[in-house]
Chains A and B, each alone.
Chain A
């Protein structure tokens, strides 16, 4: 069975500072992908960044980077230079490529950026 754990229900960060959102995962599949999505109060899930299990380098996408530590089964999201518009729910998700088409989501972290 696959599982995603996000242990931080809520986080605060000062505007322009960096913040790390934690995500650990559990799977027995050797081939998998890890995704981060942002969900503003409007409800739409916005794709942010992807990391494949065989990728040698950590993924980066603008101000987003993924700190992937395969041995520890963690895939933390780092947001640099936080902006007020970053205030939202953030979800970590996983898909095991060989066994299913579905994404398994964590329970999310609510990030609030303070001015």
Chain B
């Protein structure tokens, strides 16, 4: 089944404790992105990647890191999480073809205390 997976789905952590949210897709997609969703603000892009080793900042990159060492994986790293990073996070991938619809993962709900 074609899908984007994220882990963990739920995470409660404390300020300053490094964490990684994994994202993996099995569709051989070129593009992958991370979004955060907060009430009233919609989906805001954190980082996106056009291919292996090629990443670029989105609208809200501060406090986040990403890497794309393999085509299928695009982990999101929070080196020193803070309470304002409490949010719902979505990973998405797309083919990069003409009809470039995005496929979203199930989401990760992160709470930073």
Determine if chain A interacts with chain B: no
Q: Interface on B for A, CB 8 Å cutoff?
A: none
Q: Interface on A for B, CB 8 Å cutoff?
A: none
